[in-house]
Structure 1
Amino acid sequence: MAHATGNVTIEQRLNTLIESAHDVCSTNGTISDDCAAAWDAVEEVQAEISHRRSAVKTSLTVFCDDNPDAPECRIYDV
């Protein structure tokens, strides 16, 4: 599932950041501040992708939001 940001999808942005992180780390060393910052940027975009995927509602979720008392929407404590 791709969400467009301008003409670039978030997945394309992630791939670009990963390539950049590899380049920065190979140039500046894997324990450099620049390397850490590059991987932090990758992690932020990965978190955003994960957040977007978890925010997608299923038809059952939408139904239950509108009909919380319906039998198929009941939640039982075990």
Structure 2
Amino acid sequence: MTFETAKLGQYRTISSAAEAAHVLISQWPSAAGKAYAEAQDVCLAVLEGREPPDAARQAFLLAADEADVFIRNG
């Protein structure tokens, strides 16, 4: 999935749960919110093999919606 970073017009593509976790921890615009915390937990669970990879994608999308982070389709 591709999302708009904090720099307007700059996009980054994420292709793994590890990348999603890194973005959530180090580049997310707001370290608050229920979906944000859940996305961190789910990404960790995927990395540990306790959740399927698609769970990280879904959790990341919910966190993005919560933080008003634009996700580019396509």
Query: Where on the TM-score scale, by shorter chain, does this alignment land: which range?
Result: 0.3 to 0.5
TM-score (norm 1): 0.32
TM-score by length of 2: 0.33
Structure with greater helix share of residues? 1
Q: Quick check: which has more Rg, 1 or 2?
A: 1
Higher relative contact order (CA 8 A, sep 6+): 2
